[in-house]
Amino acid sequence: MEKYFIILLFTCLFAVVTYAQQTAIGFNAGTTLATYKMKSSDQSATSNSKVGFTTGFVIDIPVGKK
């Protein structure tokens, strides 16, 4: 787990360094899938999968010189 965290940290730092000082505008979209499973001492419940869609806009504006 710690190995994956370190790799993710270095990847994010590299992306920030190579992409700094530029204004960017973008669009993102995706899907979500939700289910639940619940257990109690003598009862249990589950749900069927529900699919949802997400969309959004991204604007990255630098606020400083560095």
Residue 6 has pLDDT above 80, yes or no: yes
Instruction: Kindly indicate the confidence band of residue 16, based on its pLDDT and cuts at 50, 70 and 90.
Output: low
- Tally of CB atoms within 10 A around 65: 5
**Of the candidates 26, 30, 33, 37, the residue with the CA atom closest to the CA atom of residue 51:** 33
Amino acid at 12: C
What pLDDT is attached to residue 21? 61
Q: Which residue has the higher pLDDT, 12 or 50?
A: 50
Percentage above 90 pLDDT, the chain: 11
Taking the C-alpha atoms of 37, 5, 53 and 48 in order, what is their torsion angle to the nearest 10 degrees? Answer: -10
What pLDDT is attached to residue 55? 94
- pTM strictly above 0.85: no
Q: 63, 21 in Cβ contact below 8 A?
A: no
